[in-house]
């Protein structure tokens, strides 16, 4: 059960860090795509200096989540939540979804000029 909670926390923090890492670039692009624009959008890049920190946190959290999901240290007892196949599938799905978000956060500054 402790393994499930730590895997959930690692996935959550990985996803949060990925969103924060891409917020400096993805936020203005989404606002422009919705038709909102103006000079004030340039002020949304205040988080850009912290992007490497957010990406590092996301990668560490993803590594910890991967280790908990694919290389569990503890054996699940038959009645525990971690022993259910649905739970394992959900964790794997969430892990790969968060991994895709982190990949987007890493590659977005290089792909963003193609959309402006």
Model's pTM, two decimal places?
Answer: 0.60
Whether pLDDT at 1 is above 70:
no
Query: pLDDT tens digits for 44-77?
Result: 667 678 778 877 887 888 888 888 888 776 677 7
User: How far is residue 30's CA from residue 104's CA, in Å, rounded to a whole number?
Assistant: 14
Query: pLDDT tens digits for 22-34?
Result: 666 666 666 666 7
């Amino acid at each position: 059960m402790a393994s499930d909670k730590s895997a959930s926390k690692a996935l959550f923090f990985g996803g949060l860090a990925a969103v924060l890492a891409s917020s400096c670039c993805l936020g203005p692009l989404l606002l422009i795509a919705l038709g909102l624009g103006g000079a004030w959008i340039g002020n949304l890049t205040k988080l850009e200096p912290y992007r490497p920190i957010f990406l590092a946190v996301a990668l560490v959290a993803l590594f910890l989540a991967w280790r908990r999901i694919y290389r569990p240290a503890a054996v699940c007892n038959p009645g525990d939540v971690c022993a259910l196949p649905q739970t394992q599938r959900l964790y794997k799905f969430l892990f790969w979804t968060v991994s895709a978000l982190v990949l987007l956060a890493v590659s977005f500054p290089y792909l963003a000029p193609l959309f402006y």
